[in-house]
């Protein structure tokens, strides 16, 4: 039997026999169909391989990413005013990854994500879901604090986003919860309002993606805490988990 051929080559074979006046390929023509891998299949296989990595291997990969690619970064103007790079923290094999917008003043001071008032609210949510901060992974779109806690600008996001995507690739979470407008709009490449995005699953590179409100917004609008709780419960259900 001949070497396997792609679907494109097979089409050429059919065209040849059609030109010869034949409506069917003769038996024994020696053609074996080779299925071409789609991009989706390739991405899925890569994610499965990442999930097979041990927690230690993932932790080492994250540490390597920080030291070889991010430590001392001057890729955008935010580097000039930072105290610390806020890389992110948590379980390198986390099933759920929370992604916020940017570090605030306290995060910049400590070098840790979500440790201020908004961070306490996020921690409470995680506990209410039956987990600890150490069970999930928490990161932001940008790793350095924008002055005055303004929204990160387009060039700042562009400089930092590759690092976040590499983190996601290493951790390979089973679900992502995007905290707030900037996180959701950036990763979904959309300008749709967070109020219209939240509560419905989207897809980020094959990973179920749930947009919800940012804890800072919930501090100002406590009545909407129930909505974020409902969004988080959908993620638990997707993973086959239940809140205590």
Q: Using 50, 70 and 90 to split pLDDT, how confident is the model at 244?
A: very high
In 3D, which of 221, 235, 244 has the Cα closest to residue 118?
221
Say what the pLDDT of residue 51 is: 65
Tell me the C-alpha to C-alpha distance, in Å, between residue 33 and each of 6, 29, 149.
6, 12, 57
Query: Is the pLDDT score of 39 beyond 60?
Result: no
What would the pLDDT profile of 145-199 be if each residue is shown by its tens digit? 999 999 999 999 999 999 999 999 999 999 999 999 999 999 999 999 999 999 9
Query: Is the pLDDT score of 37 beyond 90?
Result: no
107 in Cβ contact with 144 (< 8 Å): no
Vertex 209: Cα angle to 227 and 38 (nearest 5): 160
Say what the pLDDT of residue 134 is: 97
Say what the pLDDT of residue 52 is: 82
| Whole-structure pTM value | 0.80
151-186 burial, b for 16+ CB within 10 Å, e for fewer? ebeeebbebbeebbeebbebbbbbbbbbbbbbbbbb
What would the pLDDT profile of 69-98 be if each residue is shown by its tens digit? 999 999 999 999 999 999 999 999 999 999
Say what the pLDDT of residue 49 is: 59
State the angle between helix axes of 39-52 and 154-171 in degrees (0 to 180), rounded to the nearest 10: 60
What's the chain's average pLDDT? 87
State the angle between helix axes of 117-128 and 225-238 in degrees (0 to 180), rounded to the nearest 10: 40
Determine what percent of the chain is predicted with pLDDT higher than 70: 79
3-state DSSP assignment of residue 94: coil
Average pLDDT value for residue range 198-216: 98
Q: Using 50, 70 and 90 to split pLDDT, how confident is the model at 27?
A: very low
For 55, other C-beta atoms within 10 Å of its C-beta total: 11
- Name 158's Cβ contacts closer than 8 Å, sequence gap at least 6: none
* Integer Cα distance of 127 and 67 in angstroms: 31
Say what the pLDDT of residue 43 is: 52
Q: Nearest 5°: phi and psi at 65?
A: -60, -45
Query: Is the pLDDT score of 14 beyond 50?
Result: no
Q: Is the dihedral of CA 48, 53, 54, 58 positive or negative?
A: negative
CATH superfamily of 39-238: Uracil-DNA glycosylase-like domain (3.40.470.10)
**Radius of gyration of the chain, Cα coordinates, nearest whole angstrom:** 23
Say what the pLDDT of residue 45 is: 54
| DSSP conformation class of 75 | S
Q: Using 50, 70 and 90 to split pLDDT, how confident is the model at 8?
A: very low
Q: Where are the domains of the chain?
A: 1-36, 39-238
Query: Is the pLDDT score of 35 beyond 80?
Result: no
Say what the pLDDT of residue 142 is: 98
Task: Compute CA 28 distance to the chain's CA centroid, rounded to the nearest angstrom.
Answer: 48
Say what the pLDDT of residue 17 is: 43
* Integer Cα distance of 142 and 163 in angstroms: 9
């Amino acid at each position: 039997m001949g070497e396997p051929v792609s679907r494109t080559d097979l089409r050429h074979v059919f065209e040849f026999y059609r030109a010869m006046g034949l409506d069917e390929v003769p038996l024994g023509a020696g053609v074996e169909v080779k299925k071409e891998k789609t991009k989706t299949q390739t991405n899925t296989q890569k994610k499965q391989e990442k999930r097979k990595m041990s927690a230690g291997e993932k932790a080492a990969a994250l540490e390597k990413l920080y030291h070889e690619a991010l430590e001392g970064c001057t890729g955008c103007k935010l580097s000039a005013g930072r105290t610390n790079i806020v890389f992110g923290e948590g379980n390198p094999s986390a099933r759920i990854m929370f992604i916020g917008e940017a570090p605030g003043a306290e995060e910049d001071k400590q070098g840790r994500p979500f440790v201020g008032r908004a961070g306490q609210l996020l921690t409470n949510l995680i506990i209410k879901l039956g987990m600890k901060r150490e069970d999930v992974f928490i990161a932001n779109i940008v790793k350095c604090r924008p002055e005055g806690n303004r929204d990160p600008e387009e060039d700042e996001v562009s400089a930092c986003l590759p690092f976040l995507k590499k983190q996601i690739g290493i951790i390979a979470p089973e679900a992502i919860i995007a905290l707030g407008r900037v996180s959701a709009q950036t990763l979904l490449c959309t300008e749709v309002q967070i109020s219209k995005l939240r509560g419905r699953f989207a897809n980020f590179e094959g990973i179920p993606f749930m947009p919800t409100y940012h804890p800072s917004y919930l501090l100002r609008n406590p009545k909407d805490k129930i909505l974020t709780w409902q969004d988080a419960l959908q993620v638990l259900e997707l993973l086959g988990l239940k809140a205590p």
